[in-house]
C-alpha cells in the first residue's frame, strides 16, 4: 500500500528521499509554506538590479557594435557582455534546480514553478536571457504564499512581462507621443491586454469580448520600460480619457487606474475559479472535482485573494493524498526527482562542468519537449500526461535514465534494489521490484527505476 507521506512527497514535492525537516502531512506542508523561504536562504537569487544592469550593458554594446560595423574591439566587448548575461541565466537555472533539490519546503518550490508557468515569459533576445528568471525570483517567489493581487501587480509590471508581451512598445493612438511622432505614428499593441485577461486572470471561458481587450490595451498605455530596463509609466504614451473594462470605468492619471483594474481583475469570481482549476489540475488530476474548485475559489474570494487558504482547501481534499497517481511529472520535475534520488544535491549540481550541464540537463530537456524557459507561447507548458508521455518524450526519459546516472556518479551506481526503495519508497510496484532484480547491470537496474511509470507519475 502506498504510504500517504510518499504520495505527498511525489504530488506536492520532488519525490524521495525527503530532506531533513521536510513535512509529511498537509498540515506540515502548509506550515512550512507559511514560514520563511528555506530554498531562497539556501540558494539566494541574483538581484533584479544585477540582471537589469547586465542586460542594459549588453543592449548598449550591441547598439554600438551595429553603429560601427567592422570594429573588432566593439564586437568583442559585446560578445563578452552577452556571455555575462548567458552565464547569469545559466546560474539562475542551476539555482532554481538546486532549490528544488535541497529545500525542505518542496511545496514552495513546486508552487514557484506553477506560478512561473502561469505568468510565462520568454526572453525575446539573448541580451534579455536573464529577465524571465528575474521575474520568477523577484515578482512571483515572494508572493507564492501571499496574495494573488500583489503577485498579479508584480508580474504584469515586471520588465520581463512588459517586453515579452509587447507592452513596452504600445502607445495610445491619441496620446501626445502618437500625435507628436514624426513619420509613422506609433499606436496600440493588444498583446499584454489580451493575455492578462485570457491567461493571467479571468480565463478564456469568461464573459469578456474584443471591446474589453481593446479598452484594457488602451488602459495599459503608458506602462513601459525605461532606458535602464526597469518598469516606468510614460504619461505621454497614455491614451487620454477613461476606459471601460468589464463593466467598470477607469479614469484618472498615471498608474492608479491601471492598478485599480488589476486589483479588480484579481477579485473577479472568474479569476478565482480559473486559478483554482489550474491549481487542482496541476497538482491532482486533469479533470478535478468541480466541488473542490468551488470550495477553493470561495476560500480565495473570502480572504482578499490570499493564496494559502486556497492551497489549504486543495491539500485537505481526500483526493490530495489518495492513489492512483494520474499526472505525469513534467521533464524538469523528472530531472530534479532523478537527481534527488541519485543523491545529487544542489552543491554537486552547481559544481558540474558546463559541458555536463549542457549534456545532462539542457539538451535532455529539449528532447523531453520542455526546453528550459522556452514554452511555445504565453500559455506555458501543457498539463495532460498524454502531452508528455509520448513515444518520443518517453524515449528521451529512458535515454537519460540509461546514460546520465553513471556519468553523474563516477564513484559508482547504487544497488538497483536499494535504489528502488530510495527513489520510490512504498510506491514501487511488485513488477518493478522484480524487474529491477533481474536487470543485467546496475546501470540497467537504476535506469528501470527512473524510467518506470511509478517514477514518472505523481
Partner 1 sequence: MADLNRRLFLRGGAATLLGCSAAAHPWLTTVTLASGRAALGDNRLVVVILRGAMDGLDVVQPLGDPLLARYRPTLGVETGAQTLTGYFGLHPALAGLLPLWQAGEVGFVHATSTPYRDKRSHFDGQDILEAGTGRDVPEPEVRDGWLNRLLQAVPGIEAETAYAIGREALPLLAGAARARSWTPELRLTLSPQSRRLLEAVYHDDPLFHEAGMAALELSAEFVPGKMAPVAPGKGKQAEIDRLAGFATDRLLGETRIAAFSLAGWDTHRQQAGALAPNLAQLERLILQLRAGLGDVWGQTTVLAMTEFGRTVAENGTRGTDHGTGGAMVMAGGALKGGRVLGRWPGLEEAALYDRRDLMPTSDVRGWAAWAMRGLYGLERGVLEGAVFPGLEMGDDPRLLR
Q: Tell me how far, at minimum, the Cβ of 208 lies from partner 1, in Å.
A: 8
Q: Tell me how many residues contact partner 1 (CB under 8 A).
A: 60
| 347 alpha-carbon distance from chain centroid | 22
The mark string for 375-404 relative to partner 1 (x by CB under 8 A, - otherwise) is -xx-x--x--xxxxxxxxxxxx-xx--x--
Q: In angstroms, rounded to a whole number, what is the distance separating the alpha carbons of residues 217 and 333?
A: 36
Compare residues 109 and 198 and give the one whose CB is closer to partner 1. Answer: 198
Name the one range near partner 1 by CB under 8 A: 12-20, 112-120, 263-271, 373-381: 373-381
Compare residues 121 and 189 and give the one whose CB is closer to partner 1. Answer: 189
The mark string for 332-371 relative to partner 1 (x by CB under 8 A, - otherwise) is ----------------------------------xx-x--
Examine residue 432 and tell whether it contacts partner 1 (CB under 8 A).
yes
CB 16 within 8 A of CB 454: no
User: ∠ CA 420-426-429 to the nearest 5 degrees?
Assistant: 65
Name the one range near partner 1 by CB under 8 A: 133-141, 165-173, 266-274, 312-320: 165-173
Q: Tell me how far, at minimum, the Cβ of 177 lies from partner 1, in Å.
A: 10
CB 191 within 8 A of CB 213: no
Instruction: Give the CA diameter of the chain.
Output: 77
Closest alpha carbon to 295 in 317, 278, 328: 317
Compare residues 91 and 174 and give the one whose CB is closer to partner 1. Answer: 174
Among residues 54, 139, 171, 202, the one that binds partner 1 under rule CB under 8 A: 171
Compare residues 226 and 386 and give the one whose CB is closer to partner 1. Answer: 386
Examine residue 122 and tell whether it contacts partner 1 (CB under 8 A).
no
Q: In angstroms, rounded to a whole number, what is the distance separating the alpha carbons of residues 237 and 457?
A: 49
Closest alpha carbon to 37 in 165, 141, 153: 141
Q: Is 225 helix (H, G, I), strand (E, B) or coil?
A: strand
The mark string for 204-243 relative to partner 1 (x by CB under 8 A, - otherwise) is x----xx--x------------------------------
Among residues 4, 104, 146, 187, the one that binds partner 1 under rule CB under 8 A: 187
How many Cα atoms occupy the beta-carbon half-sphere of 65 within 13 Å?
17
Examine residue 434 and tell whether it contacts partner 1 (CB under 8 A).
yes
Q: In angstroms, rounded to a whole number, what is the distance separating the alpha carbons of residues 63 and 65?
A: 5
DSSP string, 106-151: HHHHHHHHHHHHHT----SSGGGTTHHHHIIIIIIGGGTTSBHHHH
Compare residues 142 and 429 and give the one whose CB is closer to partner 1. Answer: 429
Q: In angstroms, rounded to a whole number, what is the distance separating the alpha carbons of residues 143 and 151?
A: 6
Cite the beta strand spans of 227-325 per DSSP E.
Answer: 231-233, 243-245, 248-250
For residue 321, what is its C-alpha cell?
493524498
Compare residues 130 and 452 and give the one whose CB is closer to partner 1. Answer: 452
Q: In angstroms, rounded to a whole number, what is the distance separating the alpha carbons of residues 265 and 348?
A: 43
**Chain contacts with partner 1 (rule: CB under 8 A):** 166, 169-171, 173, 178, 184-191, 194, 198, 204, 209-210, 213, 328, 366-367, 369, 376-377, 379, 382, 385-396, 398-399, 402, 429, 431-432, 434-436, 438-440, 444, 447-448, 451-453, 456-457
Amino acid at each position: 500500500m502506498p504510504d500517504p507521506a510518499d504520495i505527498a512527497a511525489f504530488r506536492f514535492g520532488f519525490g524521495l528521499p525527503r530532506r531533513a525537516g521536510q513535512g509529511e502531512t498537509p498540515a506540515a506542508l502548509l506550515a512550512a509554506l507559511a514560514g520563511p523561504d528555506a530554498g531562497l536562504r539556501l540558494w539566494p537569487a541574483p538581484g533584479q538590479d544585477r540582471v537589469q544592469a547586465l542586460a542594459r550593458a549588453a543592449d548598449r554594446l550591441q547598439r554600438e557594435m551595429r553603429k560601427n560595423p567592422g570594429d573588432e574591439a566593439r564586437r568583442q566587448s559585446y560578445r563578452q557582455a552577452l556571455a555575462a548575461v548567458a552565464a547569469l541565466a545559466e546560474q539562475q537555472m542551476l539555482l532554481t534546480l538546486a532549490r528544488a533539490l535541497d529545500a525542505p519546503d518542496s511545496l514552495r518550490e513546486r508552487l514557484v514553478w506553477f506560478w512561473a508557468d502561469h505568468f510565462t515569459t520568454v526572453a525575446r533576445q539573448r541580451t534579455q536571457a536573464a529577465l524571465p528568471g528575474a521575474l520568477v525570483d523577484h515578482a512571483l517567489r515572494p508572493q507564492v504564499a501571499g496574495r494573488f493581487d500583489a503577485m498579479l501587480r508584480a508580474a504584469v509590471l515586471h520588465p520581463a512581462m512588459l517586453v515579452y508581451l509587447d507592452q513596452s512598445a504600445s502607445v495610445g493612438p491619441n496620446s501626445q507621443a502618437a500625435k507628436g511622432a514624426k513619420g509613422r505614428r506609433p499606436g496600440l499593441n493588444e498583446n499584454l491586454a489580451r493575455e492578462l485577461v485570457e491567461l493571467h486572470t479571468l480565463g478564456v471561458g469568461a464573459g469578456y469580448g474584443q471591446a474589453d481587450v481593446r479598452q484594457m490595451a488602451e488602459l495599459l498605455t503608458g506602462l513601459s520600460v525605461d532606458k535602464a530596463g526597469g518598469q516606468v509609466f510614460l504619461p505621454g504614451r497614455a491614451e487620454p480619457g477613461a476606459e471601460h473594462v468589464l463593466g467598470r470605468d477607469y479614469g484618472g492619471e498615471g498608474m492608479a487606474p491601471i492598478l485599480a483594474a488589476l486589483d479588480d481583475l484579481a477579485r473577479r469570481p472568474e479569476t478565482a475559479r480559473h486559478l483554482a482549476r489550474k491549481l487542482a489540475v496541476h497538482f491532482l488530476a486533469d479533470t478535478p472535482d468541480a466541488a473542490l474548485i468551488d470550495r477553493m475559489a470561495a476560500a480565495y474570494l473570502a480572504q482578499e485573494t490570499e493564496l494559502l487558504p486556497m492551497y489549504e482547501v486543495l491539500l485537505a481534499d481526500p483526493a490530495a493524498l489518495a492513489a492512483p497517481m494520474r499526472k505525469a511529472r513534467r521533464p524538469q520535475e523528472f530531472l530534479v526527482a532523478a537527481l534527488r534520488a541519485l543523491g545529487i544535491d544542489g552543491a554537486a549540481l552547481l559544481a558540474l562542468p558546463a559541458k555536463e550541464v549542457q549534456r545532462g540537463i539542457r539538451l535532455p530537456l529539449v528532447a523531453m519537449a520542455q526546453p528550459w524557459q522556452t514554452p511555445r507561447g504565453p500559455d506555458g507548458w501543457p498539463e495532460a500526461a498524454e502531452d508528455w508521455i509520448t513515444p518520443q518524450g518517453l524515449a528521451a526519459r529512458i535515454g537519460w535514465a540509461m546514460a546520465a546516472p553513471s556519468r553523474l556518479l563516477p564513484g559508482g551506481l547504487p544497488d538497483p534494489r536499494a535504489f528502488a526503495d530510495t527513489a520510490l519508497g512504498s510506491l514501487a510496484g511488485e513488477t518493478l521490484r522484480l524487474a529491477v532484480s533481474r536487470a543485467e547491470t546496475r546501470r540497467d537496474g537504476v535506469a528501470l527505476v527512473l524510467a518506470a511509470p511509478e517514477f514518472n507519475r505523481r
